[in-house]
Structure 1
Amino acid sequence: MYESLTELLKQISLGEDSVLELKTVEFAGNKIKGPHRDGMADELAAMANTHTGIIVLGVDDKTRKIQGIPSDKLDIVESWLREICNDLIEPPLDCLIRKLVVSDPERGEKLILRIDVPRSLFVHQSPGGYFRRIGSSKRQMRPDVLARLFQQRSQTRLVRFDEQTVPHAGLEDLNPRLWRRFRTVVSPRDDDVFLEKMKLVALDETGVLRPTVGGILMACDAPEAFMSSAFIQAVCYRGSERNAAYQLDAKDITGPLDVQIRDACNFVERNMRVYAVKAPNRIETPQFSMNAVFEAVVNAVAHRDYAIYGSKIRLHLFADRLEIFSPGTIPNTMTIDSLSERQSSRNELLTSLLARCPMNVNAVGSQRSFIMDKRGEGVPIIITESEKLSGVRPVYRLIDDAELKLTLFAAKPPQGKG
């Protein structure tokens, strides 16, 4: 949008609109006294909540004249902006800030700051509340509008969340080795056509081809670089308390989702105890069924709500249980009691891609050839396998209607074994 300086200046001459905001910057010594920090945060969040736009600092919004910013204060303004984006907006806003030189026939060269604000994957709150942009001004959102926006940017949308484009991500951020594994003999030969057909990339609002959320999660080496909470926090504790003093092992599990599934299962297998008795042949009894653990991790990764900022999957292993926390409520009209009977997917794109990934975990007893089968057998396997091994039925619990917790209970050691 307005990539050339000529285009930008032409638009500035026309004045503010839905995608352009102009502001002068006033100083008191080395401190910025205008615009106000809170007001600037409201403007940035409003634009991110509505659509991709540009804010230009150093231009009078009334006269449309270039006032400029002193060269020795450019870095001060840039730091001020970054602090606003990180500290006053929740979740923090990622913007592109550029310093531009503008030639003024009357006053010579002037310096301005251009802030590109992408339409966000999230709904942002600023000091004044929740705002959206209407024309050249911001408006606080009514409760019904806000609820609809949260819904649109979560799981229920004509274009699902995992099919939305990721701002600032480019095609070069997708690893060809990762996306080529989804190719079949009937796939289009043209790479861009294939990527679009698979919904790994899509056109954003400005017509630029960008990776989708699903593309980043499945075909990027480091999804957490674009979606900071797209990883699994795995921790193993010595006893039954969540206490850092008793922590035995910990790892932030990153990478494409199928790699996260593999590494999370390996973390459990590496840290759980395996009891052995001779009766008369050696019989080994693991604390947990790896088939059940595999299904539980797959469900957590495939069905979590990636639209919730700052919430990661947590896998916590204790001496007597395994707890897996997955961000998001239960999809659609499902309930805790109906989980084992019904099937529903929040992320259709992700589940379809995982169904093309070969099985990569030694889940004893599993008949899977691919990570997902989409037949709705995961929860029944989790319940049956775990209860058969430990004698205790796993427990699902919905926390604050925002996080699903699954507890798998460990098998007790055979008599005489501690």
Structure 2
Amino acid sequence: MTMTKAELLELVANGESSNVEFKRDNVRPASLAKEMSAMLNFEGGLILLGVENNGRISGMSKDRHTAEELVMNISRQNIQPPVIPGFWSVRIDDNLSVGVIKLNPDSPSKPYKAKKSNSWITYIRAGSTSREATREEEGRLYQSARLVNYETKLVPDMGLDDLDMDRIENYFRVILERPISRDTEMQEWQKILLNSDLLAKIGDKTCATVAGLLLFGKNPNRRLPQAGVMAVAFPGSEKDYNTIDEERICGPLVSLFSKNRSITDSGVIDRSVDFVKRNMASIAWLEGGRRHLKKAFPVDAVREAIVNAVTHRDYGREGTDVELSMYEDRLEIISPGPLPNGVTVEKMKEGIVRVTRNGLIKEVLRSYRYVDHYGMGVRNRIFQSMLTHNGTVPDLIEEEDRFRVCLWAPSLQP
């Protein structure tokens, strides 16, 4: 890849941003490594060597070969794991050139660390600056690279006693149809749950995992405040202090089922669906002299959107519930965190998504038939059912740190 003089001058005129950084060419190795690693941990970007912070082009004092060699040495010796960035120079005039370092987006080995004295530090971009990552932010980088799975992390001081054994037994006996005796001792249950990653050991101590608490916890919000759904129904088309109905829906994700698969005690997913059903407007029309009536949204689409939100959200973002907001013209469901690596809105619409952030939670919910077995839920249960039911096309909107699904009421889609 190369860059024209005009393209470079346009970049400089637009100033520094989250993916453009200005540096003198005599920058210290530790400083350049910091900026490079921060961009690698974000969405990649360009570092312009020979441009002052105020945008004045001072140019490189080194020739292209020497500058490139310096950049490559820093990339190998001052960044962990080592990288090979792109590098080229752009001539401004006979005596002035700017070096361009290109860091690729979606670099696979996050988090990248920069050497600082005798330590290796994780940096991230925050607007046009780079700063040290917090523990939570670094954990999300590991998770995005699939080196750490948040759902299988241990939750201190929460063990077998904090799980709802009625739901646990219901899952294995009724949902999975396993021949487990009702006289099974708690010690045996502990082994079963350890093998299922719903419990985990640290030394001699057995703790519940994040997934175990979310799915089957008696009170998961006690240690996982981000475990709920904040549901609000507004009278108009915007958020307002006046509400029709509101509920913070907490507890285990799954419901308790009878042998014929009817719900005997609702979990977060089904209680969230019930909230929508009781606040959903109806559509009335005349056909053949008879008045017909149906709800504004198909229940299948509502349930799929809610299931996707609680299944695929980033539970590493503490203190942030899934948001369920009902307006006169739409239903919005917002899940914290961006889409997992490799997932795009286009792939979701086509039903070709196989990547998941929380694989264990997804597999358990699939056993309950909350999750489509073939990854076609968004295409079939949301898009097709909405078109068939009320003729509208849902919006899937990826934002910087959240994902929003918007289901429109008929005749009100913009």
**Equivalent residue number for residue 46 of structure 2:** none
Question: What letter is aligned with 1:409?
Answer: W
Contact 1:187 1:194 in 2 (8 A): no
Question: What letter is aligned with 2:199?
Answer: V
**Equivalent residue number for residue 167 of structure 1:** 156
Alpha-carbon separation, structure 1, partners of 2:179 and 2:142: 33
Q: Could you say if the C-alpha distance between residues 407 and 159 of structure 1 is closer, same or farther in structure 2, counting changes exceeding 3 Å?
A: same
Deviations 1:329-366 (A, max 9, x none): 11121222221222221111101111222xxxxxxxxx
**Equivalent residue number for residue 185 of structure 1:** 178
Contact 1:170 1:210 in 2 (8 A): yes
**Equivalent residue number for residue 407 of structure 1:** 406
**SS state at 1:238 partner:** coil
Alpha-carbon separation, structure 1, partners of 2:145 and 2:360: 13
**Equivalent residue number for residue 85 of structure 2:** none
Cα offset, 1:276, TM superposition? 3.0
Alpha-carbon separation, structure 2, partners of 1:335 and 1:157: 17
Aligned to 1:203, which of 201, 204, 212? 201
Q: TM-score normalized by structure 2? A: 0.59
The share of aligned pairs that are identical, in percent, is 29
Alpha-carbon separation, structure 2, partners of 1:143 and 1:187: 50
1:150 paired with 2:139, answer yes
**SS state at 1:349 partner:** helix
Contact 1:383 1:394 in 2 (8 A): yes
Unaligned residue ranges in structure 2 (runs of 5+)? 1-117, 125-131, 255-266
Aligned to 2:250, which of 254, 278, 288? 254
Contact 2:142 2:148 in 1 (8 A): no
Q: Could you say if the C-alpha distance between residues 388 and 185 of structure 1 is closer, same or farther in structure 2, counting changes exceeding 3 Å?
A: closer
Contact 2:199 2:208 in 1 (8 A): yes
Contact 1:235 1:249 in 2 (8 A): yes
Alpha-carbon separation, structure 2, partners of 1:399 and 1:238: 26
Cα offset, 1:177, TM superposition? 0.7
Deviations 1:211-259 (A, max 9, x none): 00111011112211110011000010111111113x1110101111121
Cα offset, 1:159, TM superposition? 5.2
Q: TM-score normalized by structure 1? A: 0.58
Question: What letter is aligned with 2:392?
Answer: V
**Equivalent residue number for residue 377 of structure 1:** 376
**SS state at 2:403 partner:** strand
Alpha-carbon separation, structure 2, partners of 1:187 and 1:354: 20
Alpha-carbon separation, structure 1, partners of 2:347 and 2:211: 27
**Equivalent residue number for residue 230 of structure 2:** 233
Cα offset, 1:187, TM superposition? 6.0
**Equivalent residue number for residue 50 of structure 1:** none
Deviations 1:244-275 (A, max 9, x none): 13x11101011111211101111111011113
Question: What letter is aligned with 1:403?
Answer: R
Alpha-carbon separation, structure 1, partners of 2:327 and 2:210: 33
Cα offset, 1:186, TM superposition? 5.6
- CA RMSD after TM alignment: 2.6
Deviations 1:274-301 (A, max 9, x none): 1334533442232111111111111011
Deviations 1:373-414 (A, max 9, x none): 3311211121122233333311111122x100111101249x
Paired positions, count: 262
Q: Could you say if the C-alpha distance between residues 374 and 409 of structure 1 is closer, same or farther in structure 2, counting changes exceeding 3 Å?
A: same
Q: Could you say if the C-alpha distance between residues 220 and 142 of structure 1 is closer, same or farther in structure 2, counting changes exceeding 3 Å?
A: closer
Alpha-carbon separation, structure 2, partners of 1:332 and 1:140: 25
Alpha-carbon separation, structure 2, partners of 1:155 and 1:181: 33
1:265 paired with 2:255, answer no
Alpha-carbon separation, structure 2, partners of 1:318 and 1:215: 33
Question: What letter is aligned with 1:230?
Answer: A
**Equivalent residue number for residue 362 of structure 2:** 351
Alpha-carbon separation, structure 2, partners of 1:186 and 1:345: 30
Alpha-carbon separation, structure 1, partners of 2:326 and 2:318: 24
Cα offset, 1:153, TM superposition? 5.6
Aligned to 1:306, which of 298, 315, 325? 315
Question: 5 Å matches for 1:38-187?
Answer: 141-143=121-123, 146=133, 149-151=138-140, 154=143, 156-158=145-147, 160-183=149-172, 184-185=177-178
After the TM superposition, list the runs of 4 or more consecutive aligned residues in structure 1 that deviate by more than 6 angstroms.
none
Alpha-carbon separation, structure 2, partners of 1:166 and 1:252: 22
**Equivalent residue number for residue 396 of structure 1:** 396
1:219 paired with 2:212, answer no
Question: What letter is aligned with 1:392?
Answer: T
Unaligned residue ranges in structure 1 (runs of 5+)? 1-137, 358-369, 414-418
Cα offset, 1:195, TM superposition? 0.7
Alpha-carbon separation, structure 2, partners of 1:257 and 1:311: 16
